Structure 1
Amino acid sequence: MTLSLQDIAWHRSVGQLIEALDKPNFWTLLVRLLGQYVTFDSWVVLLFSSELRPQVFAECPGVGGGPDPLFQDYLNGLYLLDPFYIASREQAQTGFFHLAEVAPEYFEQTEYYQRYFRLNVVADEIQLNCQLDADRTLCLSLGSTQRFTTEQIALLSLIQPWVIALLRQRMPFEELAPTQQPQPAAHWRTQLEASVSQLKGAQLTVRELDVGRLMLSGCSSKEIARKLDISVETVKVHKKHMYSKLGIKSQSELFSIFLQAQGA
């Protein structure tokens, strides 16, 4: 078997990345390498866990080089509605994931999609996940203003073993010298329930809070019923009671309450 010049260039670049595992510019070098094979417009490296808010290890510069206010909203609480975050918590695993695989049925109709995703990520997203232990997932996310093509997705699937191996080998250096300590994440139910009680004087049940969050993430009544192991009719009853207690009539109003609860 003969190697092409492209094969040789790829292996050479991977070798250089291995040499740079302990260097501050590792993530930039990795993203530049991926950019030679797949077109994307934004990227971020995150650590997901259930007990902490997402920790950012590296990200593409915002407009003007400063922090992106929309992304700060994400870190303050919108991540709880992120399809990739939800998928990583429901079934933690290593691999390559495309938005179309993890997004709920009505994701593009949600307030989260309209107010955050399409403005910050714009059109499409893929994520390479390295499962570090039972709770922590190291993620490299790539966002694009265009839909990723079948060829791009196939190529990323092909090279994912190299990329994920590099993510795993890089992690000890991040743990030794984190840029900042991640903030503990109050359980979303507790946080939302306290805020709702303060804002509306309403006491929601655990099940109503579960239904509300899944609604906001874009899940249909059937998806919510399957995730919570209840009937579709029970989902509708919980939704009706929740709306009545909060004095609202739409998901838009529910999303506004959610934002206030997260301080976003």
Structure 2
Amino acid sequence: MSLTLQDIAWHQSVGRLIEQLDRPGFWIALVRLLEQYVPFDSWVALLFSDGRPQVFAECPGVDGGPDPLFKDYLRGLYLLDPFYIASHERNSGGLFRLAEVAPECFEQTDYYQRYFRLNVVADEVQLNVPLEGGRTLCLSLGSRRPFTPEEIALLGLIQPWVAGLMRQRLSFEQELMASPPPPAPAWREQLEAAGQKVENALTARELEVGRLMLSGCSSKEIARKLDISAETVKVHRKHIYSKLGIKSQSELFGLFLKAQEA
């Protein structure tokens, strides 16, 4: 079996990346290599854990500075991210597509309309490397158009190489790896404070139902995830709305956003 010029170029590029593992520009070098094979418009390398995501590197915003929408993501919108939810439900490695992790009603959610559609735009893939302690090292690639089957196949082919490089890079990210992640937002109290004063606080189950609703899960999907009936889900939704003094899922999302600002 003979090597093609493209094969040789790939192996040479990986060799150069290995030499850059201990250098500050590693993540940018990795992204630029991937761009030679698969076009994308945005990217971020981060660590999912029980706290807020920790960012290793990210692409700049439109004006060259930090992306304000991504700041909103780190403050708390990540709790509605299908990739974040999937990483907690099954901490496994590999290449994951948006279509594989997004819930049934994802494109109808306020999260999609007011964040994802504006920040990522159309499609996203994520390369996951599971770590100890339930953490996941992630490289997310966003695109203004759907990734083609050929591009997905190519990313799947090179995914073991990329995952290996990402894992090796952690030896040189000791400062971030050693620091505890910022605590996740305690949005139950904040959500209630942003709504009307209530005598009965949201229960843990109601809070989880509310989060899954906002992430785009249908009543059937929530019932399956929580091992309850769809009718019970509807009862929980009714109680959430009543306790918070709201009448719609959009109002619930509005309170969720206020909670992140608290």
The TM tier, using the shorter chain, reads: over 0.9
Cα displacement (A) at 1:182 = 5.8
The code of the aligned residue for 2:43 comes to: W
CA distance in 1 between counterparts of 2:132 and 2:177 reads 21
Of 166, 187, 195, the residue aligned with 1:192 is 187
The equivalent of 2:141 in structure 1 is 142
Q: 2 CA distance for matches of 1:145 and 1:246?
A: 36
Partner of 1:133: 132
The partner residue of 2:197 within 197, 201, 210 is 201
Please state how far the C-alpha of 1:181 moved relative to its aligned partner. 5.0
| Aligned residues of 1:54 and 1:182 also touching (Cα < 8 A) | no
What is the TM-score of this pair, normalised by structure 1? Answer: 0.95
Q: Is the alpha carbon distance of 1:72 and 1:179 closer, same or farther for their aligned partners in structure 2, counting shifts above 3 Å? A: farther
Alignment of 1:224-263 (within 5 A): 224-263=222-261
Structure-1 residue corresponding to 2:98: 99
- Tell me what 1:66 maps to: 65
> Secondary structure in 1 aligned to 2:173?
helix
Contact 2:93 2:128 in 1 (8 A): yes
Displacement after TM superposition at 1:247 (Å): 1.5
Distance 1:240 1:198 in 2: 19
Answer whether contact 1:57 1:179 (CA < 8 A) is retained. no
Distance 1:119 1:131 in 2: 29
Question: Judging changes above 3 Å, is the alpha-carbon distance between structure 1 residues 263 and 182 closer, same or farther for their aligned structure 2 residues?
Answer: farther
What residue is the counterpart of 1:25 in the other structure?
Answer: 25
1:170 aligns with 2:160: no
Change (3 A) 1:116 1:180: farther
The answer to whether the Cα contact below 8 Å between 1:49 and 1:135 also exists between their aligned partners in 2 is: yes
**Hey, what does 1:14 align to over in structure 2?**
14
Is the 8 Å Cα contact of residues 121 and 144 (structure 2) preserved in structure 1?
yes
Looking at structure 1, the residues matched to 238 and 192 of structure 2 have their Cα atoms a distance apart, in angstroms, of 18
Greater mean alpha carbon deviation, residues 32-41 or residues 57-66? 57-66
Q: Which runs of 5+ in 1 are unaligned?
A: none
Give the C-alpha shift of residue 196 in structure 1: 3.0
* Structure 2 Cα separation of the partners of residues 96 and 179 of structure 1: 23
Number of the residue aligned with 2:2: 2
Structure 2 CA distance for partners of 1:120 and 1:180, relative to 1, 3 Å: farther
- Tell me if structure 2 keeps the 8 A contact 1:123–1:145: yes
Q: What count of residue pairs does the alignment treat as equivalent?
A: 259
Contact 1:92-1:134 within 8 A present in 2 as well:
no
Secondary structure at the aligned position of 2:132 is classed as coil
Any residues of structure 2 matched to 1:114-125 within 5 Å, and which? 114-125=113-124
Q: Is the CA contact (8 Å cut-off) linking 2:192 and 2:244 kept in structure 1?
A: no
Which amino acid in 2 is paired with 1:195? Q
Per-residue CA distance 1:156-214 (angstroms, 9 max, x = gap): 00100000000000011112x4399564223x5xx222113323223111111111000
Q: Say whether the 8 Å CA contact 2:170–2:177 is kept in structure 1.
A: no
* Alignment match, 1:37: 37
CA RMSD, Structure 1 to Structure 2 (Å) = 1.5
- Per-residue CA deviation, residues 202-252 of structure 1 (Å, 9 max, x unaligned), is 311111111100000000000000111100000001101111111211111
Moved segments of 4+, more than 4 Å: 179-183
CA–CA distance in 1 between the matches of 2:160 and 2:211? 34
Identity in percent? 71
- Which SS does the other structure have where 2:139 is aligned? strand
Match of 2:111 in 1: 112
Give 1:56's aligned residue: 55
Q: For 2:261 and 2:129, how far apart are their aligned partners in 1?
A: 30
Distance in 2 (CA, whole Å) between partners of 1:144 and 1:3 is 31
Between 1:127-136 and 1:144-153, the stretch displaced more is 127-136
Unaligned segments of structure 2, at least 5 residues: none
AA in 1 matched with 2:15? G
Give the alignment of 1:209-220 within 5 angstroms.
209-220=207-218
One-letter amino acid matched to 1:241: H
C-alpha contact (below 8 Å) 2:123/2:147 kept by paired residues:
yes
Structure 1 match to 2:156: 157
For residues 104-132 of structure 1, the C-alpha deviation after alignment (integer angstroms, 9 at most, x for no partner) is: 00000000000000000000000000112
| d(CA) in 1 for partners of 2:176, 2:219 | 41
